[in-house]
Amino acid sequence: MYDFSKCVRQGSISTDEIHPCYFCGREVKVSNPTHCDKCHMWKCSFCGACYCDASEDEQKLLVEMHKTYCCNYDNLVGFYGVVNEGIQVDDKSTGFFNNICNAVLNCAEMLRCQDR
């Protein structure tokens, strides 16, 4: 199983920071998260979903997103610019892709604030 514990922002995430859930899109505080015993990903405090609840395609997207952005400083900082230049991120069928993009954008914004 993929290890989601690695992050370029590890150790610098504020306890009052909010991240959108990949699954339901609601804003979740990251302080005292509940981790899934099986996949070790944070579980949403509203819908309770984690990697284990994702479809096979969603799992592939989550892993690729994490490898590309969460584990790569330059890509994460660059994502902020890509989205703010007007590139639309939306999956009209489920919103899952849009939720992931919003979560990555949130991290990119927080990283930009830290770097100032």
**1-53 residue pLDDT tens:** 888 777 777 777 777 778 888 888 888 887 777 888 898 888 899 999 999 99
Query: Is residue 83's pLDDT more than 90?
Result: no
Say what the pLDDT of residue 81 is: 53
Mean per-residue pLDDT of the chain: 75
Banded model confidence at residue 86, pLDDT cuts 50, 70, 90: very low
Give CA 90 to chain center in angstroms.
15
Between 102 and 59, name the one with better pLDDT.
Answer: 59
- Which residues on neighbouring strands pair with residue 18, listed in sequence order? 29
Q: What amino acid occupies position 73?
A: Y
| Residue 68 pLDDT level (bands cut at 50, 70, 90) | confident
Sequence-distant (≥ 6) Cβ neighbours of residue 98 within 8 angstroms:
25, 89, 90, 91
